[in-house]
C-alpha cells in the first residue's frame, strides 16, 4: 500500500489518500489502486502487507488490523522484519469457507491513527 501522508493528514481522510495493489489480479482481485481493494486468495494462502509513503520525507506504519478476519481468527496478521523494513503477514485459515471478509487496517502517521477497510475474498 502507498499512502499520501500529507494529503491524509491535511484532509483528515485516509480513504482518498491510500492506494492498494496486490499480485492476485489474475485470480480476480478488484479495485486495484483504491482504498477498498478486494484481494482474492485461496484458503491457506499467505498474504503480506507493506506500507510506504509517497513522499520519502514522511512516515507511515501499520499499527494493527481489526474486523471479522481477526475476531473469527480467519487471518491474524503479525508484524515481521526490521524497524526500517517492516511488513505484516498472515495465512488465510477460512477452514474451507469461501466468502468475502471486510477488515480494517489501522495506520499511524505522525502519531495520528487512521483506518481504511478493504476486502479479502476466499475462493
CA–CA dist 24, 105 (Å, integer)? 19
CA–CA dist 63, 117 (Å, integer)? 14
Q: What is the pLDDT of residues 1-56, one digit of tens each?
A: 999 999 999 999 999 999 999 988 888 899 999 999 999 999 999 999 999 999 99
**76-95 burial, b for 16+ CB within 10 Å, e for fewer?**
ebeeeeeeeeeebebebbbe
Average pLDDT over the chain, rounded to whole?
95
Task: Give residue 43's domain range.
Answer: 2-122
Helix or strand or coil: residue 26? helix
CATH number of the domain to which 27 belongs:
2.60.40
> What's the pTM value of the predicted model, to 2 decimals?
0.92
Structural domain tally of the chain? 1
Q: Give the CA count within 13 Å in the CB-facing half-sphere of 88.
A: 17
The full DSSP string for 99-114 is -EEEEEEEEEETTEEE
Does 84 score more than 90 pLDDT? no
Residue 83 pLDDT class (50, 70, 90 cuts): confident
Amino acid at each position: 500500500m502507498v499512502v499520501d501522508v500529507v494529503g491524509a493528514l491535511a484532509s483528515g481522510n485516509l480513504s482518498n489518500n491510500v492506494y492498494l495493489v496486490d499480485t492476485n489480479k489474475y485470480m480476480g482481485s478488484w479495485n486495484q489502486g483504491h482504498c477498498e481493494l478486494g484481494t482474492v486468495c485461496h484458503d491457506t494462502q499467505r498474504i503480506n502487507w507493506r506500507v510506504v509513503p509517497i513522499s520519502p520525507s514522511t512516515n507511515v506504519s501499520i499499527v494493527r488490523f481489526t474486523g471479522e478476519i481477526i475476531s473469527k481468527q480467519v487471518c491474524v496478521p503479525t508484524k515481521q522484519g526490521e524497524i526500517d523494513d517492516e511488513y505484516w503477514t498472515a495465512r488465510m485459515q477460512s477452514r474451507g469457507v469461501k466468502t468475502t471478509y471486510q477488515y480494517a487496517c489501522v495506520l499511524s502517521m505522525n502519531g495520528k491513527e487512521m483506518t481504511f477497510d478493504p476486502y479479502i475474498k476466499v475462493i
